[in-house]
């Protein structure tokens, strides 16, 4: 079984080592020092007190790899549109595309039913390019729960978790999703097949859409955000707005708001991925985690006043981290005056 992991960072690298351990023919698309280190020394995974090293085919040119049985997209979701053209050599007539990304995926309204069947979401798929170039019929949903980290080029540290729920947009147990689940389980991963993968997507997104931007704005860790009355109230309001949207689309939330917030707080002094990206000067996953919820609220005619405010603030925060952004903003103010 040929599997290409596009984006062999923390999660992609973890998956690569585990799937190779299960006997899959795994290749990785990466770049920079991380790619160079993997080519020279293999990909090292630090997990359960041991080191697992996999010698995998690594490249920054997907044309070297050819069509795959599965392409697992393990990039930050906002990075996917920029690599669609490069990804095409990996796509054959029977290739499945596994969206192991945070937030709402491009295929969300494929086989969804109702008035919005076939709708594309501009905030995450501008111009519907993912829908056209990857194809919603190829997609297998995958929700990522583990925490991993690239601690050095070519070295992945597993922190906790091994769960990757999978599911078809239609809810069917197809041969391709069952084969993938079996392979992942053989690699030591927990990969249950869900009849409604959208419920699982929303459950994770429910926390990400509020904790991530609040943390980037305040620099608070999960325990602080969940325990401080002010930030907890903001998170709760955003989650209730999102739940009203999900309810309109038939989403089942299997836990209540308070339990979801308490669960996040129990993780402890953890920095969210958005805060980590901010501190490292990287682009933040604002659109897949927050903007898309606002867009879906508009589609469902559900108001999102708290989310709107937090989204405006985090967008401004990101803008002000860009080169020359402060000077440009000051120039616009001066001109307006």
C-alpha–C-alpha distance, residues 114 and 109, integer Å: 9
Nearest alpha carbon to residue 257 among 269, 271, 247:
247
**Cα dihedral across residues 227, 228, 230, 235: positive or negative:** negative
| Residues contacting 92, CB < 8 A, separation 6+ | 66, 67, 68
Q: What is the helix (H) or strand (E) element at residue 183, kind and residue range?
A: helix 175-186
Q: Which entry of 2, 111, 179, 204 is annotated as an active-site residue?
A: 204
Question: Going by DSSP bridges, is the β-strand pair 43-47/50-54 parallel, antiparallel, or unpaired?
Answer: antiparallel
Please check whether residue 72 is in contact with residue 98, taking contact to mean a CB–CB distance below 8 angstroms: yes
DSSP-assigned states of every residue in 69-104:
SEEEE-S-GGGGGGGHHHHGGG--TT-EEEE--SS-
C-alpha–C-alpha distance, residues 113 and 107, integer Å: 13
Residue 136 corresponds to which tokens in the numbers above?
């919603």
The reply to whether 204 belongs to the active site is yes
Nearest alpha carbon to residue 182 among 16, 2, 19, 17:
19
Which residues belong to the active site? Answer: 204
């Amino acid at each position: 079984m040929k599997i290409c992991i596009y984006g062999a960072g923390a999660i992609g690298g973890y998956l690569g080592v585990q799937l190779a351990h299960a006997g899959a023919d795994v290749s990785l698309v990466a770049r920079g020092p991380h790619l160079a280190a993997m080519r020279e020394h293999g990909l090292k995974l630090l997990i359960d007190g041991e080191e697992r090293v996999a010698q995998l085919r690594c490249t920054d040119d997907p044309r070297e790899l050819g069509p795959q049985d599965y392409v697992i997209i393990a990039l930050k979701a906002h990075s996917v549109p920029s690599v669609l053209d490069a990804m095409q050599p990996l796509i054959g007539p029977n290739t499945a595309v596994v969206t192991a990304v945070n937030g709402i995926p491009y295929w969300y309204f494929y086989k969804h039913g109702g008035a919005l069947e076939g709708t594309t979401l501009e905030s995450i798929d501008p111009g519907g390019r993912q829908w056209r170039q990857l194809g919603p019929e190829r997609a297998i949903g995958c929700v990522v729960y583990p925490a991993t980290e690239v601690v050095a080029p070519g070295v992945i540290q597993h922190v906790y978790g091994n769960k990757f729920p999978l599911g078809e947009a239609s809810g069917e147990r197809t041969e391709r999703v069952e084969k993938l689940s079996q392979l992942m389980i053989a690699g030591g991963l927990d990969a249950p097949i869900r009849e409604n993968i959208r419920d699982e997507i929303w459950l994770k997104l429910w926390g990400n859409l509020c904790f991530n931007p609040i943390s980037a704005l305040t620099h608070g860790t999960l325990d602080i955000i969940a325990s401080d009355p002010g930030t907890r109230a903001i998170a709760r309001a955003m989650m209730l707005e999102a739940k009203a949207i999900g309810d309109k689309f038939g989403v089942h939330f299997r836990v209540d708001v308070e339990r979801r917030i308490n669960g996040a707080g129990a993780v402890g002094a953890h920095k969210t991925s958005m805060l980590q990206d901010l501190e490292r000067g990287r682009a933040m996953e604002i659109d897949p985690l927050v903007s898309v919820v606002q867009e879906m609220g508009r589609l469902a005619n559900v108001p999102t006043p708290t989310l709107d405010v937090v989204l405006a603030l985090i967008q401004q925060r990101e803008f002000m981290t860009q080169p020359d952004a402060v000077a440009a903003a000051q120039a616009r103010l001066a001109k307006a005056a």
